[in-house]
Amino acid sequence: MVDIRPQQAKDLEAIARINADAFAEHGGTGSFDRFREERTDIISLVAESEGQLLGHVLFSPVVLDTPDGPVNGMGLGQLAVDPVHQNQGIGTKLSEAGLEKLRDTDCPFVIVIGHAKYYPRFGFEKGVTNNFVCQWEGIPDNSFMVLFLDESRRLELAGTARFDGL
């Protein structure tokens, strides 16, 4: 039985360990790490089973520079599952729980840079075909994705999307 709940201060060490283990091959998680301790405008959730943390997801603010001015959205910045517990649905539960929280807000879109075969299951689409541009050069088109939470704004949303603070 895996519970998804908001991050608490006591979780920070375990979250850091999960991210370090899950992203070991990628050289660590870098830039987003300090957001967990410093920001209150993030969604940071953990997956817990029998008192043990097994996974973590972090959503943080993103600004889309549209021709009509900036539009605030969110970005899925980190998703990590303890390597021993991967492929058991924990990443899916964490992502869905975070997106469910965002659906209760007026956040119109969420971006992610990640595995092109993983994120479409949550409704993410290729950014480039939706006129979303990544702030960083060199990210493969397939890896930069957007999910529209407010379908009515799909056509008006276009521009470069930047993670706030990065």
Ligand X SMILES: CC(C)(COP(=O)(O)OP(=O)(O)OC[C@H]1O[C@@H](n2cnc3c(N)ncnc32)[C@H](O)[C@@H]1OP(=O)(O)O)[C@@H](O)C(=O)NCCC(=O)NCCS
CA within 13 Å, CB half, 150: 16
Q: Measured between alpha carbons, how far is 150 from 120 in angstroms, rounded to an integer?
A: 17
Provide φ and ψ at 140, rounded to 5°.
Answer: -60, 140
Of the residues 27, 38, 69, 87, which one makes contact with ligand X according to CB under 6 A: 87
Smallest distance from ligand X to CB 115, Å: 4
Q: Among residues 86 and 130, whose Cβ is nearest to ligand X?
A: 86
Neighbour tally for 90: CB within 10 Å? 22
Number of residues that make up the chain: 166
Residue in 42, 81, 145, 147 binding ligand X, rule: CB under 6 A: 81
Residue with tokens 């993103």: 62
Helices (H), 23-89: 35-38
77 is a contact residue toward ligand X (CB under 6 A): no
**The one among 22, 58, 99, 111 contacting ligand X by CB under 6 A:** 22
Query: For the chain, how are helix, strand and coil distributed in percent, rounded to 5?
Result: 35, 35, 30
- Does position 117 bind ligand X by CB under 6 A? yes
- Site string (88-107) toward ligand X, x via CB under 6 A: xxxxx---------------
Closest contact distance (angstroms) between CB of 127 and ligand X is 14
CB-count burial class (<10 Å; 0-12, 13-18, 19+) for 5: exposed
* Interface stretch with ligand X, choices 4-12, 37-45, 75-83, 152-160 (CB under 6 A): 75-83
Does 49 contact ligand X by CB under 6 A?
no
30 belongs to the binding site for ligand X (CB under 6 A) = no
Q: Confirm or reject binding of residue 122 to ligand X (CB under 6 A).
A: no
Residue numbers at the binding site for ligand X (CB under 6 A): 22-23, 79-81, 86-92, 114-115, 117-118
